[in-house]
Every structure is written in C-alpha cells, then in structure tokens.
Homo-oligomer: A and B are copies of this chain.
Amino acid sequence: MDLLDTVAVSVIPGISRTRAAAAFNRFRTLPLEPLALETVIAGCGHDGDAESLAARARAEAARLVAAAETEDVQPVVLNDPDYPPLLREIGDPPPVLWVRGARSALTRPAVAVVGSRTASAYAVEVATRLGRELAERGLVVVSGLARGADSAAHRGCLSVSGCTIGVLGSGVDVIYPPEHRELAVTLCKDGALISELGPGAPPRPEHFPLRNRLISGISLAVVVVEAAEKSGSLITARYALEHGRDVCAVPGSVLGGRNRGSHALLKDGAKVVESADDILEELGWPAARLACEISSNSLKSDELLAKLTPGEAYGLDELSATVGLAGATLLARLTDWELSSQLVKHRSLWQRRS
C-alpha cells in the first residue's frame, strides 16, 4: 500500500484510529497484496460505502502529507525500517507515525518514564535522575512531554546529551503545553517527537489514552513515577501489561495519596525501581540486545569503532582519546557497541571484537 493510502487508513471517517489500525494490521500480514484501502474499510465492519469513505480518507491523507512537508514532519509507515520495531508488535500499531527530529531514534532500545503532571519536588527529582541514568546507560528515554514528571525525564536525559522521544497527544507541530516548545526543539536534535495524529491536530483529552498506548508500544519497559489513584500513567501501565512490557514503579510517600496508583502497581507485581539499574536488571541485557536489532545509531558510529584495533583492550581514558568522545556520550556509544556485540567489556577494559 502506498504512503497516501497508508495514511488514509488512520483517517477513515467514522472509524476509530485503533479499530482501523487493528484491521490494517490483520490484513497486512495476509497474502492480499496489493492491499486496498477499501478492503481495510470493509474489514472494520463499517456500514458506509467503502469507496466514498476511501475517497474522503485519501483526500484528508493528501492534505496531511502536504502539510507535513511544509512543517518538516516525516511520515514513517509501518513497513518503514525506521518504524519502532516494538511498536510493530502491538495489536493496533498506527499505520503511520508522524515524526519530527531524528527518525533514527525510533529503532533504538527505549524505556518510558511517565508520571504525575502535578508532580511533587520529589517526583521531579526522581524522574530527572532516571532520565539521566537511562541515557548514561545508552537507552532512549520515552515520555509524553507533559508537565511534571514527563518533562523532568526528558530534561534529565538531555542533561547528559541523551536521546529522548516525546510522544504527543496532538500533531508533532502542535506543542502542548506551550511552555515546552523550547524543550521540544532541543529534544528534536538527537531525539524525536512522534504522534499518530497528523500535523495540526489539536491536543484533545481523548487523544491522550491513544498517546499512552504508543508510549508503552515503543518501549521495553514503562516506569511510573508518582501516580495517584486515577493517574493517566496507570493507563500507560495497563497498556504495558497488554503489550507484554515490563511495568516498573518508583515507591514514594504513603501519606497524602500522591503515590497510591504507583503503590497499587507494586502490589500487583510491578518491579520496584529506585534507580535505572533496577530497570536494566529487570530488562536483562540479553532482552535489550534482542530488541535493539540494528540500531541506525550504531551504524553511524561505526567509523568511530573503526578507530579501535580489533582484539586490543582499552582503558576508558584511552578510549576517550582514541574515538574523540567523553563522558555520557562515550558511555552511551560503548553501550551501543556492547549491545550490538561489537565490543566486550572485561572489568574496566573494553575490547573490540575481531
């Protein structure tokens, strides 16, 4: 199916995005090529005239694709190599993701950190720290660009030049809340903003549960920081369970109810997270390695890796001098190389495999 028809699947009048996505996902694996938009519409069990619905959806799709070009927004369709591999595995993956920033970020191993919009100082501190620690370990930090814990996680990641993805409940050219516009721009340098809503879509309350499904969908694990009893983060956690992802929660005060949702998750068996290492332990490196596949990032960094003599062991200072990177950036790169089995670490020495 071509780009326009694929986009059209997500804007069929009168059919919900997730229903159309699920139908598309069912059909795309069948030997029905070329899959027609009309088939998907019929597969949704809609009463309307498939042909006229398809025409209207195509017109809207054309409008969105044109708008995306103007706004420097890239549509990444389900069979694009840059489409997040884990998201492809959920039951209703969006046929198209609209992306602003570095689309290469989408295929790297990622962990979501989500939490209260009205976060306490404690939650902001913890989310910031987790964002930073995950980035230092080479993981992409996923969150919702919301006020409070979400933006703290993005910022913590950016503080060590990490790669972070903001998943929006609006078009990626519509930044909500508006005070996060600068954060959005910074984030797009190495990371990305993504949405299944086309350019110009406003942030509507009903968009956020959909958005939460994507946060879980592209992540290996979801970490909840300070969720009260009816927090949106619990929706994300429920999706994580549904998607078979690890659910983690940060403990906090039992007084005042701010953490009642997080603690309910812990009671139900979520992993207790005090620091990023707890998350890595839960994931296990092998799992992360599988999920990693070939990250475009590690391909890019091959010329740096080429500077290391195969079989030789390097100390951290030597490595830093040889590849010309330092601190968190170097560590993130080392993690990439370790994940792709190009580098082995023995105690504090790194050795390039031959």
Within 8 A of B (CB), among A243-297: 250-255, 259-260, 263, 266-267, 271-275, 278
| Contact A254/B251 with A266-B266, A272-B266 known, Cβ cut-off 8 Å | yes
- Is A125's CB under 8 angstroms from B255's CB? yes
Q: CB-nearest residue of chain B relative to A122?
A: B253
Cβ-closest chain B residue relative to A249? B251
Q: What number of A residues sit within 8 Å (CB to CB) of B?
A: 20
A157 interface hit (Cβ, 8 Å):
no
Given A267-B272, A272-B266, residue A126 in contact with residue B255 (CB < 8 A): yes
Residues of A within 8 A of B (CB): 122, 125-126, 250-255, 259-260, 263, 266-267, 271-275, 278
Which residues on the B side are within 8 Å of A126 (C-beta)?
254-255
Cα separation A250 to B259 with both chains bound (whole Å): 12
Q: Give chain B nearest CB distance to A343 CB in angstroms.
A: 30
B274 contacts A263, CB within 8 Å? yes
Q: Do B260 and A274 touch (CB < 8 A)?
A: yes
Rounded to whole Å, the gap between the CB of A250 and the closest CB of chain B is 6
Cα separation A251 to B253 with both chains bound (whole Å):
7
Q: A122-B253, A126-B254, A267-B272 are in contact. List 8 more A-B contacts (CB 8 A).
A: A126-B255, A250-B254, A251-B252, A251-B253, A251-B259, A254-B273, A267-B271, A267-B278
| Bound-complex Cα distance A259 to B126 (A) | 14
